[in-house]
């Protein structure tokens, strides 16, 4: 049985908040909350080697979404959820590239889960 996971936030509500915010000229409080919830759910899709990198990338993604919310064109696009998700993903990737360089790090040592005496 293949079921789609229900989104934590409604894409209709997000689009509504972005349109209202564009009319006001500033992002509404509820719009900010939705963007932060979206970023917190989006960060779960990626793996990080330590918590500091995770939080830095999360902050970069939130920063990108909060800066670029006004560039959403409701006439051209009908899905604000996917638009903001893509901005968040690109922001998080930018954060990772800024932290570790384009290919993360060549000095990464994977966690040892078990010790095998034949490889010591």
Within 10 angstroms of residue 85's Cβ, the number of other Cβ atoms is 21
User: Of 61, 64, 67, 57, whose CA–CA distance to 100 is shortest?
Assistant: 57
Q: DSSP for 77-106?
A: -S-HHHHHHHHHHHHHHHHHHHHH-TT--T
Per-residue pLDDT of the chain (120 residues; tens, 9 = 90+): 445 556 678 889 999 999 999 999 999 999 999 999 999 999 888 887 788 888 999 999 999 999 999 999 988 988 899 999 999 999 998 888 888 765 455 554 444 444 444 444
């Amino acid at each position: 049985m293949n079921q789609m996971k229900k989104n934590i936030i409604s894409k209709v509500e997000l689009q509504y908040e972005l349109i209202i915010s564009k009319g006001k000229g500033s992002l509404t409080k509820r719009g900010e909350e939705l963007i932060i919830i979206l970023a917190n759910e989006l960060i779960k899709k990626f793996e990080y080697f330590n918590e500091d990198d995770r939080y830095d990338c999360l902050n970069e993604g939130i920063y990108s979404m909060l800066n670029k919310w006004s560039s959403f064109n409701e006439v051209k696009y009908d899905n604000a959820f996917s638009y903001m998700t893509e901005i968040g993903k690109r922001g998080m990737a930018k954060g990772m590239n800024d932290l570790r360089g384009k290919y993360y790090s060549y000095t990464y040592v994977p966690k040892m889960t078990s010790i095998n005496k034949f490889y010591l």
